[in-house]
Amino acid sequence: MKNFRIYLVGESNSGKSSIINALKNKPFNFNISQTIGVDYWSFTKNQTKFEIYDTSGLKKFEQATILGMKSANLIIICFDLCSSTAYQDVEKWLNIVLTHKSVTQTIIIGNKMDKQLQKKNENIRHLIQNYSFYKTSALNSKSVKKVFEDIVQNLLITSQIVDRVEISPMLVQVQKRNWLCLC
């Protein structure tokens, strides 16, 4: 069975845990407590296990998050669309991912689309232009399932491509050896 690790990172109160709860079809909890360290949840689809690590956005757990995400197949940067520090939050986490994780898929989720935006931030659009970007609302579960359906599909497709690439050189070597043995 294949196994994928997905790390959900971002500042406190960006809605990471609420997104996971929406994915689990749990009713929205207005009194959800902050994640301490990391919460874990997994599901299986197409004989593949998807492990989701919901990390704390608290500064004191940042190093633990960085250590854990080194083993991730996918990192989701989550931010609050309505936050006045949204640009700085996304920039911070993109820098952390780029500094500490050499090769991985990264997507960005702007959460709380159900709230009235204070102002449009064109700087964020420029910052995230090279990444898959989704807007969600954990409050009404809008787009949450779509995000994870896309993630599952993309990880499965990517892993099939990687498997073929890893197998192909072995086949070429075997064919060369057989050819050399015949000479």
Cα 13 to the center of its chain, rounded Å: 17
Reported as type and span, the H/E element at residue 2 is: strand 2-10
Encoding tokens for residue 73? 């197949």
Do you know the residue count of the chain? 183
Beta-strand relationship, 38-45 and 48-55:
antiparallel
Q: Is the CATH code 3.40.50.300 the one for domain 2-182?
A: yes
Report pLDDT digits (tens) over 77-92: 999 998 889 989 999 9
Q: Do residues 89 and 79 touch, judged by C-beta distance below 8 A?
A: yes
Report pLDDT digits (tens) over 15-52: 999 999 999 999 888 888 888 888 899 999 888 999 99
DSSP structure class, residue 27: P
Domain ranges of the chain: 2-182
CA angle 71, 14, 112 (to 5 degrees): 125
| pLDDT band per the 50, 70, 90 thresholds, residue 161 | low
Please report where in the chains the tokens 């990687």 appear, as a residue: 162
Between 181 and 11, the higher pLDDT residue: 11
Report pLDDT digits (tens) over 54-109: 999 899 999 999 988 888 999 999 999 988 899 899 999 999 999 987 667 899 99
